[in-house]
Chains A and B, each alone.
Chain A
Amino acid sequence: MEQEIFQLSYLQAIVPELLLLVVGLLLLGVDLVLPEARKRELSVWAAAGFAIVALASPLAYLGEPQFVFGGMIGSEPLNAIFAFIFAMAAFLVALLSRDDERLEPSGVYYALIAFAVIGMDLMVAATDFIMLYLALELTGLSLYLLSAYDRRSRFSVEAGMKYFFYGSVASAVMLYGITFIAGLTGQTLYLGVRYLFASAVMPAWFGMGVLVLILAGVGFKVAMVPLHTWAPDVYEGAPTPVTAFLSVTSKAAGVMALMRLLVWIWGSLPSHAEMTSLIAALAIVTITLGNLFALRQKSFKRLLAYSSITQAGYVLVGVTALSPMGLTAVGFYLAIYAVTNIAAFTVLVLVSNRSGSDWLRDFVGLQQRSPALALALLVALLSLGGVPPFAGFVGKILLFAAALKSGFVWLVGAALANVLISLYYYLNAVRMAYTRAEEPVEPLSIPVASRWVLVIATAGIILGTILAYPLYHLLERAAMVWF
């Protein structure tokens, strides 16, 4: 496939990333000249920047699907949609960071968020193994630093170190897998490798072996079992807004990169039944393990960490389908999951601002202290649990329907049983919030920025159901490009 390395029009395909780079550098620059007392204003600057990026993200699609920059990345509707989702998540998290009293965000903090989003945009858009690896590393390095951002907290530093060591090993293993591909096929472009795989020049076991190595890097980002062990400690130790950010965005980027690899390359192997069985098995183990650990948690932050492992497992059920329907469902669920999880973490930030800890028991009496906050928690957790009428329910239906249509009846059955288990701990947290406290409680006011985050996120959870059809239709048309 001959393709030009550079044309001026290609720059349009990376408009979100270019804008993010400008936003990141501007934030670093402003941080230098801004006096210490006005550092809090940076969150508004950052949020405004991310909002502009979100609005500009449709530009990334050049009107028809094509490869740009010598085939390194694609310009597709799906990439533009995910650039929007990531920028929105960054926008919400930037606002949320302002209200976390335990965090003192500087320009570096927001710039790192911007750089992480660049990496994640490129992870979704990458159509070349080298590009995928670079994007993965850019995302990883930014997120390691963000996890360790609260230098006064031992847990935060520990989280950063653990994340860094796990992440470096995982991406090294993945790079090792890529060397096999590059060495034996002489190709790093997805389509070139796909052609060699599909024409059975490569033996099937070789393809599977390489896939396992590459799964290490991508599965690490998704926190897929058995690469999930870093997740609870990192999620618990990192500053809460950072946890909210990395539990939704880097996961989504990892899933999309994995899905593209499977659909574009490994799905074309003459016998790919073993591969889908492998992903299905990993999906169900991920769901079950996350659930079992979440059941026993006393810290709400850790509960959400295990719950997000489970949620990634549900998404993998959709990945297993390897069909346009599966891809559509995965996209839909990731978008919904992003707003839902950020809503849950926002409530956690506000509650732990007062209590100084992340314990579940701090939520007792939340309904008396702030009815609106308790309601937001209710909506978010019910949506995560998949209770109608919230968007999480629609998302799960779509995922399971796609898997059923591809013939994974046992997988959907097991996943459904797990949905029931997960309701126990989600509803338990809701029950805490709606239990009356024994001693008198002081009211909890919601700061302006967090109020906006909650309004937008909750609106997303509800609109996800109301607008399910147009959203699904949009994603479906975007998903068709891959097949």
Chain B
Amino acid sequence: MSQYALIGVYLIIALIFGVAPPLLAWFLSPKKPNPYKGEVYESGIKTFGPTWIRFKPQYYLFALAFLVFDVEAALLLPWAVAYLWLPLYAVIEAVIFILILVFGLVYVWRRGWLTWM
């Protein structure tokens, strides 16, 4: 049970560590607000137009399409490293995996999502 008490102590210390710095900063810091500090860029550069603009959702589509290649690379690298020791089914599995990813790419392409609008 004493081991669990140790965990409890650890939790409390962790909590203090997490909460203390922002609290301290809040108490100790001098507060002299002025309108320039409230601006978007503290460097003083003015923003162009309104700051609450919407991002094009197409960025997300590109990120998703990129994921096709990203996942492919991440999963195929260990497969390629261990290639010499792998049985036949691992090769077939990898081929199916690549085919599914290729399908994803073809899908995105045919939908016309690869051209920037």
Q: Which residues of A contact B (CB under 8 A)?
A: 6, 8, 25, 28-29, 32
12 contacts between A and B (CB under 8 A): A6-B89, A8-B89, A25-B100, A25-B103, A28-B103, A28-B107, A29-B103, A29-B107, A32-B106, A32-B107, A32-B110, A32-B111
B80-117 at interface with A (beta carbon < 8 Å) = 89, 100, 103, 106-107, 110-111
Other 10 A-B pairs with CB < 8 A, given A29-B103, A32-B110: A6-B89, A8-B89, A25-B100, A25-B103, A28-B103, A28-B107, A29-B107, A32-B106, A32-B107, A32-B111
A29 to B110, CA, bound (A): 10
* Tally of A-B Cβ pairs under 8 angstroms: 12
Residues of A within 8 A of B103 (CB): 25, 28-29
Residues of B within 8 A of A32 (CB): 106-107, 110-111
A448 to B100, CA, bound (A): 35
A6 to B110, CA, bound (A): 36
The residue on A at minimum CB distance from B106 is A32
Shortest CB-to-CB span from A132 to chain B, Å, is 22
The residue on A at minimum CB distance from B89 is A6
Shortest CB-to-CB span from B6 to chain A, Å, is 14
A257 to B82, CA, bound (A): 35
> Interface of chain B, helix or strand or loop or mixed?
helix
Interface size for chain B: under 10, 10 to 19, 20 to 34, or 35 or more residues? under 10
Q: Which residues of B contact A (CB under 8 A)?
A: 89, 100, 103, 106-107, 110-111
Shortest CB-to-CB span from B10 to chain A, Å, is 14
> Interface of chain A, helix or strand or loop or mixed?
helix
Interface centre among B89, B100, B107, B110 (most CB of A within 10 A): B107
Residues of A within 8 A of B107 (CB): 28-29, 32
9 smallest A-B Cβ distances: which pairs? A32-B110, A28-B107, A25-B103, A32-B107, A6-B89, A8-B89, A25-B100, A29-B103, A32-B111
Residues of B within 8 A of A28 (CB): 103, 107
The residue on A at minimum CB distance from B99 is A25
A25 to B101, CA, bound (A): 11
A29 to B106, CA, bound (A): 9
The residue on A at minimum CB distance from B109 is A32
Residues of B within 8 A of A6 (CB): 89
Shortest CB-to-CB span from A143 to chain B, Å, is 18
Residues of A within 8 A of B106 (CB): 32
Shortest CB-to-CB span from B1 to chain A, Å, is 9
Residues of A within 8 A of B110 (CB): 32
The residue on B at minimum CB distance from A205 is B4
A6 to B93, CA, bound (A): 11
A11 to B13, CA, bound (A): 50
A28 to B100, CA, bound (A): 12
A5 to B16, CA, bound (A): 45
Shortest CB-to-CB span from A56 to chain B, Å, is 19
A262 to B28, CA, bound (A): 52
Residues of A within 8 A of B111 (CB): 32
A390 to B110, CA, bound (A): 50
A25 to B106, CA, bound (A): 12
A6 to B86, CA, bound (A): 12
Shortest CB-to-CB span from B49 to chain A, Å, is 26
A8 to B103, CA, bound (A): 25
A25 to B99, CA, bound (A): 11
The residue on A at minimum CB distance from B87 is A6
A32 to B106, CA, bound (A): 10
A287 to B110, CA, bound (A): 49
Shortest CB-to-CB span from A374 to chain B, Å, is 43
A6 to B90, CA, bound (A): 10
Shortest CB-to-CB span from B7 to chain A, Å, is 11
Shortest CB-to-CB span from A210 to chain B, Å, is 14
A25 to B107, CA, bound (A): 10
Residues of B within 8 A of A8 (CB): 89
A28 to B108, CA, bound (A): 11
A355 to B100, CA, bound (A): 43
A321 to B37, CA, bound (A): 63
The residue on B at minimum CB distance from A31 is B107
Shortest CB-to-CB span from A43 to chain B, Å, is 20
Residues of A within 8 A of B100 (CB): 25
A128 to B61, CA, bound (A): 33
Shortest CB-to-CB span from B113 to chain A, Å, is 12
Residues of B within 8 A of A25 (CB): 100, 103
Shortest CB-to-CB span from B14 to chain A, Å, is 15
The residue on B at minimum CB distance from A107 is B107
A20 to B111, CA, bound (A): 23
The residue on A at minimum CB distance from B4 is A203
A28 to B111, CA, bound (A): 11
A32 to B89, CA, bound (A): 31
A63 to B44, CA, bound (A): 74
Shortest CB-to-CB span from B107 to chain A, Å, is 6
A299 to B103, CA, bound (A): 42
A25 to B103, CA, bound (A): 8
A29 to B100, CA, bound (A): 11
A25 to B110, CA, bound (A): 15
A124 to B111, CA, bound (A): 35
Residues of B within 8 A of A29 (CB): 103, 107
Shortest CB-to-CB span from B9 to chain A, Å, is 18
